[in-house]
């Protein structure tokens, strides 16, 4: 383990907590932007698209976080 790196248990804890928080922030910001652009009423099509985007962002964030942890653990 490199000097100054968090223990593996803390890194895994971050891996489990940060992606949902980031995806939720993404969802809230995209929902606010859609409400602003569509003048207060968000269409069903936009809601479906935002739901898919939320899951894509969440999955990519988990992959990124665990990839960083694995890289740090192996080097």
Written as one string, the DSSP assignment of 19-36 is: HHHHHHHHHHHHHHHHHH
The model's pLDDT over 20-29, given as tens digits with 9 standing for 90+, comes to 999 999 999 9
Report the pLDDT value the prediction gives residue 2, as an integer from 0 to 100: 64
Is 52 within 8 Å of 1 (Cβ atoms)? no
The confidence band for 9, taking pLDDT boundaries of 50, 70 and 90, is confident
Distance CA 19, CA 28 (A): 14
Distance CA 69, CA 75 (A): 10
State percent of the chain over pLDDT 90.
69
On average, the pLDDT of the chain sits at 91
Given a cut of 80, is residue 5 above it in pLDDT?
no
Cα within 13 Å of Cα(57), Cβ side: 19
Given a cut of 80, is residue 1 above it in pLDDT?
no
């Amino acid at each position: 383990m490199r000097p100054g790196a968090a223990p593996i248990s803390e890194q895994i804890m971050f891996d489990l907590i940060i992606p949902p928080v980031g995806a939720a922030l993404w969802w809230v910001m995209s929902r606010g932007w859609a409400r602003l652009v569509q003048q207060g009423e968000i269409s069903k099509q936009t809601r479906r698209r935002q739901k898919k985007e939320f899951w894509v962002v969440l999955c990519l964030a988990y992959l990124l976080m665990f990839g960083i942890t694995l890289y740090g653990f192996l080097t």
